[in-house]
Chains A and B, each alone.
Chain A
Amino acid sequence: MYEAKYHKPASLTDAATALAGSSDGAVLAGGQTLLPTMKQHLAAPSDLIDVRAIDAMRGITVSEGAVTIGAATTHAEVAGSAVVRENIPALACLAGGIGDPAVRHMGTMGGSVANNDPAADYPAAVLGLGATVVTTSREIPADEFFDGLFSTDLEEGEIITQIRFPIAARAGYSKFPNPASRYALVGVFVAETGGAIRVAVTGAGADGVFRHSGMEAALATTVSTSVLDDVAVDAGDLVSDIHASAEYRAHLVTVMAKRAVEALS
């Protein structure tokens, strides 16, 4: 990889300062996406600001109908958290299916969400649960956060510190892994929160994670798999590649949505 200067700030303020002071800095958390990208020379940040030593970015708490997770919390920590398992079991389940055990010991929620890889799992949970992304400067509703492939509403120098997930009445996630990469070829997160149903789809969209309004409308009438049979999934909006055509992905969106509904808990 190209050279980069490493920083390990102990506070959010120091992190923001380091980021602001670099010509093309990047936030480093678990590094499970950033480092492979740098190895392939597909990314060449001037500075790496490692946020794992910042206490404010770690930990899982529950209060007032929400579970708040520090952005530097690892997938393994989320998957193993009694708090998450008890309050939003679908989120723990999703975290336990990201990558592989070694990746889950390092990779972080904030890193995954900030990267917004169109085949990542977490964006489906953030959007499906209607979470709030808390940053160094503001709070961003999930519906406004994701902004196309590898792109988010985050501004330069802004760092995700926490994500606040409303505790859903019930939620479920079903993923169809890409046979090679094991990322989501299609992943569907269904959640019923405050009487409203949200359906978020990752892996399939040509513009990244998206909500499926047709499915949400159908499930709003009855929460059952059968209502999804009549909902069309437009292949025109979906990715086509060597692993799956848009038509196959469209089909899988329906199948995974049904399985997510079956998994609601």
Chain B
Amino acid sequence: MSDGIGARVARKEDKRFITGKGRYTDDIRVENQAYAAFVRSPHAHARVTGINAASAEAMEGVIAVLNGQQLTGDGIGNIICGWAITSKDGSPMNMGAWSALATEKVRYVGDAVAVVVAETQAQARLAAEAVEVDYEELPAVVQADAALSGGAPEIHDNAPGNLIYDWELGDEAATDAGIAEAAHVTELDITNQRLSPNPMEPRSAVAIYDGAEDHYTLYTTSQNPHVARLVLSAFYQVAPEHKLRVIAPDVGGGFGSKIYIYPEEITCLWASMKTGRSVKWTSDRSEAFLTDAHGRDHITKAKMGFDASGRITGFKIDTIANFGAYMSLFSSAVPTYLYATLLSGQYDISNIHCNVRAVYTNTVPVDAYRGAGRPEACYLIERMMETAAREMGLDPGELRRRNFITAFPHETPVIMAYDAGDFGGNLDKAMAAADVAGFAARKAEAAGRGKLRGLGYSCYIEACGIAPSAAVGSLGAGVGLWESAEVRVNPVGTIEILTGSHSHGQGHETTFAQVVADRFGLPIDNVSIVHGDTDKVQFGMGTYGSRSGAVGISAIVKAMDKVEAKVKKIAAHTLEASEEDIVIEGGEVKVAGTDKSMGWHEVGLAAYTGHNLPEGLEPGLKEGAFYDPINFTFPAGAYIAEVEVDPETGVTQIVRFTAADDFGTIINPMIVEGQVHGGVAQGIGQAMLEQVVYDEGGQLITGSYMDYCMPRADDVPFYTLEHNSTVCPNNPLGIKGCGEAGAIGAPPAVINAITDAIGSNDLAMPATPQAVWSAIQASKAPLAAE
């Protein structure tokens, strides 16, 4: 059918966005509205010795100035990390206390120490500047390796040497032996730089306390409102779940940064109770740079051994992960179970060992950002492969092919069970679409214009569809990662889908409707999607980790199975046929092989009138399901970047970008391609433009778009996309997920291309014009000396 699975349906939700009628949190203004502004630490590390709010309290419009002693005094709990990682010596991770408003110490520039609630936002901000906080400054540490070195300032009392955990995965002795017997060993020191996610909508919260009902409502910019409610209730003790409604209305992008529960939402809820006013806070961009969880920030040393035929004999990795000043909600899982477990890449490697040390520094907390751990793993592996190929004089595509996993299922030595894939086929498609055969001629032509042209590959794999609850539970997760859905067929036959997935740009209102329309043969306009409100939707784990298709849609399919069974019972009874003979096609419920049928809407009506139902069957037509995946899904692909470098300035232009992806079953190719475009742009951003920079004292240098370089339209090319789908065998529709692929696969392709162009491998991200120019100069230097 024209708008079912596989159709390029234009998005149903677009109309409100293109006409200015979207409803984001900051668009909401309620009765009794007051505004919050936070008093933030200007120091990276300091003891708070006193707070004097007298002059601020006296200012026009100020309702209250509240601090951390009051917050903890009211029993608001500390912010926690929800995934327990155990160090290799068996000790638990060292999680330091994090109060939404700091009490004794501040640990990064931007750490909140007090909140002002006032009649207007301007009044709140002015008063926040007037709150006098006495600080006793302490030495600060910013870089992860420096934090581990002896004598570094200690940030949390219960984390000696700033070490959060020292964790390992894989067989170290076997890996050492594999590398020892190698014919060739490639070694790289790789930094995966710190990024700021930067969804265009800054975070915002509107908290409403209803004293008569002792009930709270929170409108907030969340990717997972039920998780927010759970955490706010279970850990921060703001209110029990039945007394707290969390609504995530239209949300303007997240990329991971809106998964977490931040101090501001907690404080607004509490402040609403304290002041009896609805309390609203909206971050501005400068505040977002200071408070939104950052991503990446790994320092890694790696060794990869190869035998004489180019087969990998062992891969050893030592990573230090910078967690910032506090452990954010999922921070601990990122450099462990979302990183080390993917270090086999697309390759058949017998021996892998990865050691990860997580450390505190006086910087913004770090957590999952688009890809989360998998971009770090992919960048490492794909830089290793390209480097090794160059060192061994092999074609980089050929070296990869010699090591590709070709038989499935495949168990890696880092505990992943790949279920399906066609890695060689992905690379074939990408190479054909990128016209690799014609590259030499293009390179020669570019050289004639004084430009250096380069080609770079990246063959990525990721683990998505997060995640089997029992598996992640055994690895330390504090929650299950199933998804829920409810399919509500109305008496007139229209359908509402209540889903625990949350759309903040992904187009669920269209994609999910396509799946339902396809199943029952209905127009997609007869299907609407309800999400983002804990009072409406039964439960949900939210949208991140490319899980909404593989897990969220699977829950809908399970609920539709139940609806279909009941529809068949009702129709069989009405049409006097056997249930086995009932088929649902094109909006009709028919008896196969006969002309007997009833309209879909007639079944709905029959279900709700209850006038003539099979004996014992309940009226109504509404079914719910919880879907728990049995494995991760494994999207994979081959990306090829082609760049042109101006050697005079180091300016690099991406002239071609080709992606061949295996996402399994695709519901709406247009939306999937959009996800790849956006992911690749973020990957190009990491490769060439973006980096969070602190000075040595912990002051944020890249605190606005003046200094943090966001990808703009003229920084990126048109992208050429190919699909090479193998069906995921582990979920009902065979979906693998597509949300993070671009951000994972693009960075190594770009850096491999630039290093190919300039003939030097000594280039770190971001490859800014200066970095590229400097690498060219450095590689010329020895030649000049000869």
A and B touch in the complex (CB under 8 A): yes
Indicate whether B397 reaches chain A with its CB closer than 8 angstroms.
no
Q: A243: which B residues are within 8 A, CB to CB?
A: 707, 768, 770
Q: For the complex, what is the distance from the CA of A85 to the CA of B708, rounded to whole Å?
A: 34
Question: Nearest chain A CB to B744's CB is how many angstroms away?
Answer: 23
CB distance from B303 to the nearest CB of A (A): 31
- The secondary-structure label for the interface of chain B is loop
Q: Which residues of B have CB within 8 Å of A255? A: 648-649
**Nearest-CB residue, chain B, relative to A180:** B709
Does the CB pair B708–A248 fall under 8 Å? no
- Is there a chain A Cβ closer than 8 Å to B433's Cβ? no
* Tally of chain A residues near chain B (CB < 8 A): 16
CB of B770 within 8 A of CB of A180, answer: no
Residue of A nearest to B706 (CB): A181
B705/A181 in contact, CB under 8 A: yes
Tell me which residues across on chain B come within 8 A of A242, comparing CB atoms.
693, 701-702, 707
Whether B649 and A179, one on each chain, are in contact in the complex, defined by CB atoms closer than 8 angstroms, is no
Specify which chain B residues have a CB less than 8 angstroms from the CB of A181 in the assembled complex: 705-707
B interface residues, how many (CB within 8 angstroms): 21
Query: Which residue in chain A gives the minimum CB-CB distance to B689?
Result: A179
Q: Are A180 and B693 in contact (CB under 8 A)?
A: no
Is B126 in the interface zone, CB < 8 Å from A? Answer: yes
Residues of A within 8 A of B770 (CB): 243-245, 248
Is B300's beta carbon under 8 Å from chain A? no
For residue B764, give the distance in angstroms from its CB to the closest CB of chain A. Answer: 14
A204 interface contact, C-beta 8 A: no
The prevalent SS among residues of A at the interface is loop
B721 to chain A, nearest CB (A): 26
- Determine if A248 and B774 form an interchain contact, defined as CB atoms under 8 angstroms apart: yes
Q: Kindly list chain B residues whose C-beta atoms are within 8 Å of the C-beta of A7.
A: none
Distance of A243 Cα from B649 Cα, bound (Å): 13
Smallest CB-CB separation from A39: which chain B residue?
Answer: B284
Interface string of A168-194 (1 = CB under 8 A from B): 000000001001110100000000000
Say yes or no for A48: interface residue by CB 8 A criterion.
Answer: no
Partner of B649, one of A2, A176, A245: A176
B773→A248 contact, CB < 8 A: yes
Answer yes or no: A8 CB below 8 A from chain B CBs: no
The interface centre, meaning the residue of A2, A41, A176, A243 with most chain B CB atoms within 10 A of its CB, is: A243
Report the Cα distance A40→B702, complex, angstroms.
15
Cβ of B129 within 8 Å of any chain A Cβ, yes or no, is: yes
> Whose C-beta in chain A lies nearest to the C-beta of B126?
A2
A252 in contact (CB, < 8 A): yes
Does chain A have a CB within 8 A of B403? no
Q: Is A212 an interface residue (CB 8 A)?
A: no
Tell me, yes or no, whether A105 is within 8 Å of chain B by CB.
no
B554 CB, nearest partner CB in chain A, Å: 42
> Chain A contacts of B774 at CB under 8 A?
248
Which of the residues A180, A251, A252 comes within 8 Å of B705, measured between beta carbons? A180
Asked if B769 lies at the interface with its beta carbon under 8 angstroms from chain A, I say: yes
Residues of B within 8 A of A41 (CB): 129
Chain A residue nearest in CB terms to B702? A242
Contact with B along A30-64 (1 / 0, CB 8 A): 00000000001100000000000000000000000
Interface centre among B286, B649, B715 (most CB of A within 10 A): B649
A180-B649 CB under 8 A given contacts A41-B129, A248-B770: no
Chain A residues within CB distance 8 Å of chain B: 2, 40-41, 176, 179-181, 183, 242-245, 248, 251-252, 255
Rank and list the top 6 A-B pairs by shortest CB-CB distance, nearest first.
Answer: A180-B709, A181-B706, A248-B770, A179-B709, A244-B770, A242-B693
Q: List 22 A-B contacts (CB under 8 A).
A: A40-B286, A179-B689, A179-B709, A179-B715, A179-B769, A180-B702, A180-B707, A180-B708, A180-B709, A180-B710, A181-B706, A181-B707, A183-B706, A242-B701, A242-B702, A242-B707, A243-B768, A243-B770, A248-B770, A248-B774, A251-B773, A255-B649
- 16 additional contacts (CB under 8 A) given A40-B286, A248-B770, A252-B649: A41-B129, A176-B649, A176-B769, A179-B715, A180-B689, A180-B702, A180-B706, A180-B709, A181-B706, A242-B701, A243-B707, A243-B768, A243-B770, A245-B770, A251-B773, A255-B648
